[in-house]
Structure 1
């Protein structure tokens, strides 16, 4: 597959952000704080409009957003939505623009999108991120990147603005997405562990705070445990990472594992819990809403 050569770009590139949901809006604000010019587009424009108050140019079309940009940053849900955005933007792209594709789409889809980018003359960087709402808003994500090293200089100001660390994985597309699936397996099963501990505490009549105090400060403690437990105990399930998105990622992990003949029992169980919680109406809540999948049905008031 041939790859276009990245343009020589100004020190502070113009960035087109396609997709301004939880992660995209946070990343756009981090770019603006770093002094980069941001053009924001979302299929539902109302989700992008608040960024105008932060200094972004909100465009009516994807083509308008990417026209004249140096870097195109896609922050969308899946391969289908990324492909649709590229189609919508195609009239505005020029050869040599860098496409920083940060959506979690899986390795196979990343290779397909790289080919689509090459067809448009774009330089494709597979760049999924690790982190949720708060790190996105703080510019504290970890970004896994694979793609041509010639694009590093162009992408660097963007990567520095959205992330506290960039891990360059390899040259070929899909390599960063493979690493992202491994990292997400850890996160997904960790959140399931938190949920099941809280489920059991509730079922046995144990004050969950006693559990948290019992592990506090020891080798079993973690900030993640306390943060997710606090969300459940307070009832504030405002999504940092939506349960429906976690389910999508879990299915990508299981699909990749199946292709290699691996059996991931914990991840399969996590998927089943996410599916039950989504069916009960918790898909738009934070992924710790998997807690509700472990409760007796009569206790789950939604």
Structure 2
């Protein structure tokens, strides 16, 4: 028996996919209507979270944050089956995942943090990417079930909380990418570039493929053979800021400030990726 707590778009589609695979699933949501809506697909909804987890060997969660996970699990605890496994797909802090793993182990339960890079359609189709880390024996035990939920499971090794850090790292990139695209659109609007022209550029010139090579260049530690000098990149950033409507750019002015710091340190003739020099992990 499986229990699933948190019937948002992601959780509800995970449940539907599980039912389609023949699983029996008990569900709960803070807003009861979202749980009862899944009864038409074969789920059994409960008004109390402690009742929803009764008899379940595995409890899945898709909630909001650390606080909501702790709160819901505390409410569920009286109904938990001895030795049950808790699999949390919520995006949380690494420290929260570490603390919960230790705390629930002391109580005789297994807590596994397995955040995802998936949208609701992926959850329904069992496609996408799920992250996991921690005790190798525990990961080996739960990984087959996790693989049924998604197209790919990435195991980041024995360090508890590593999966949480990797999930936040990925989301940071997505937020930064969206911020950069927002600046791109703001610049286009300021300079009378149409959306058709923007699409034409990116349909032909796809910078996504540059990411692995750019990461290697940024983390190489060697910046003295520039393909684009920092001083020249800073000049272009100045032209962008001057051409855009005042205050319309968010990301570029911040990067320009970082460029100024490194130019002041004597890196103007280095490759512009030198601005990442002090950020590279050991």
Choose the corresponding residue for 2:43, options 46, 56, 64.
Answer: 56
Match of 1:219 in 2: 206
Match of 1:116 in 2: 103
- Return the alpha-carbon distance in structure 1 between the equivalents of residues 13 and 187 of structure 2: 35
Q: 1:31, 1:158 within 8 Å by CA — same for their partners in 2?
A: no
Q: What displacement does 1:127 show?
A: 0.8
- Return the alpha-carbon distance in structure 2 between the equivalents of residues 266 and 99 of structure 1: 44
Q: Give TM-score scaled by structure 1 length.
A: 0.65
Match of 1:35 in 2: 22
Q: Give TM-score scaled by structure 2 length.
A: 0.69
Match of 1:21 in 2: 8
Classify the secondary structure of the residue corresponding to 2:71: helix
Gaps of 5+ in 2: 210-250, 256-282
Match of 1:86 in 2: 73
- Return the alpha-carbon distance in structure 2 between the equivalents of residues 265 and 69 of structure 1: 51
Choose the corresponding residue for 1:183, options 156, 170, 174.
Answer: 170
* CA 267–147 in structure 1, closer or farther in 2 if over 3 Å, else same: farther
Match of 1:159 in 2: 146
Bigger Rg, structure 1 or 2: 2
- Return the alpha-carbon distance in structure 1 between the equivalents of residues 77 and 144 of structure 2: 24
Q: Are 1:71 and 2:71 an aligned pair?
A: no
What is the Cα-based RMSD across aligned positions, in Å?
A: 2.5
Match of 1:138 in 2: 125
* CA 109–208 in structure 1, closer or farther in 2 if over 3 Å, else same: same
Q: Are 1:105 and 2:97 an aligned pair?
A: no
Q: Are 1:197 and 2:184 an aligned pair?
A: yes
Classify the secondary structure of the residue corresponding to 2:87: strand
Q: Are 1:209 and 2:196 an aligned pair?
A: yes
Structure of higher RCO (CA pairs closer than 8 Å, 6+ residues apart): 1
How many residue pairs were aligned? 214
Gaps of 5+ in 1: 1-13, 223-263, 269-302
- Return the alpha-carbon distance in structure 1 between the equivalents of residues 141 and 42 of structure 2: 22
